[in-house]
Amino acid sequence: MSAYEQERDGGGGNPGEDEGSLSSTGELLAYLARGLVDEPEEVSVEQFEEDDGSIVLELCVGDDDYGKVIGRGGRTAQALRTVVRAAATHEKRRVLIDIVD
């Protein structure tokens, strides 16, 4: 079982986090972001559903970690969006990712 599958199934996650309402794409985004930052306990993802059925995921990280998530020229942020969108095709949903401070 991969580390992502263990975290998704309840093992390896942070006990104080409430991500039960996140879709699998939201959980994937949180997992990937935690791997990039220095303070993984500061990572949070909020999920909202639009009227047209698309999902908006808002990613928040610690103040010193925004550069790591965005990357040089936005390359890391674009890579995160690409991976999560690819995972969302399995659910036949459209996913938008916002990195908020």
Per-residue pLDDT at 81: 95
How far apart (Å, rounded) are the C-alpha atoms in residues 20 and 100? 21
Q: How confident is the model at residue 13 (pLDDT cuts 50, 70, 90)?
A: very low
Residue 5: predicted pLDDT: 52
Residue 78 DSSP code = H
Strands 95-99 and 55-60: parallel
Q: What pLDDT is attached to residue 7? A: 53
Which amino acid type is present at position 41? E
Which tens digits make up the pLDDT trace of 57-85?
A: 999 999 999 999 999 999 999 999 999 99
Query: What was the pLDDT predicted at 16?
Result: 38
Architecture of the 3-99 domain? 2-Layer Sandwich (3.30)
For the chain, give every domain's residue range. Answer: 3-99
